[in-house]
């Protein structure tokens, strides 16, 4: 229990520091808004007109996949910590099963073409 207490104390201290610095930046920082600072920035090109279209679903799929596979790494930490408290065979098999599940998910994503951004072209019959 004391291990979790240390982690919780560290998280509370980090949150306090982040909050203090955000509040300091908000109250002490300079505020000189103008038209250029409030304009949308798009790769250094000047903004032309207003964009009222829809984003492709591919953007959202990539974000969801990033979150999914990135958060899976969080589960490796408890797995690595329990190495001393369980048998090495069980520990290895558990890690192997976890890795297989991730690889199967990655193969599924690639087979579905979620990360394929190129438009599909039809090959001409010769």
Q: Which residue has the tokens 């103008």?
A: 34
* Predicted pLDDT of residue 12: 96
Task: Count how many residues are written for the chain.
Answer: 126
Q: What is the pLDDT of residues 27-36, one digit of tens each?
A: 998 888 888 7
What topology does CATH give the domain 2-112? Methane Monooxygenase Hydroxylase; Chain G, domain 1 (1.20.58)
Q: CA 54 to CA 60: how far, in whole Å?
A: 12
Start-to-end C-alpha separation, the chain = 71
What pTM did the predictor assign?
Answer: 0.49
Q: What is the pLDDT of residues 14-60, one digit of tens each?
A: 999 999 999 999 999 888 888 877 776 666 666 677 766 676 777 78
Helix (H, G, I), strand (E, B) or coil at 42: strand
**What is the arithmetic mean of pLDDT over 79-92?**
86
Q: CA 70 to CA 57: how far, in whole Å?
A: 20
Tell me, rounded to whole angstroms, the distance of Cα 66 from its chain centroid: 5
Q: Give Rg (Cα) of the chain.
A: 24
């Amino acid at each position: 229990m004391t291990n979790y207490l240390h982690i919780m104390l560290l998280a509370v201290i980090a949150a306090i520091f982040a909050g203090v610095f955000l509040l300091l930046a908000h109250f002490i920082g300079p505020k000189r808004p103008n038209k250029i600072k409030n304009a949308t920035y798009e790769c250094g090109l000047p903004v032309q007109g207003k964009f009222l279209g829809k984003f492709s679903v591919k953007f959202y799929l990539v974000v969801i996949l990033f979150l999914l596979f990135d958060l899976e790494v969080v589960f490796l930490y408890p797995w690595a910590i329990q190495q001393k408290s369980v048998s090495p065979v069980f520990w290895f098999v558990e890690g192997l099963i976890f890795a297989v599940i991730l690889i199967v998910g990655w193969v599924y994503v690639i087979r579905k073409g979620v990360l394929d951004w190129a438009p599909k072209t039809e090959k001409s019959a010769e």
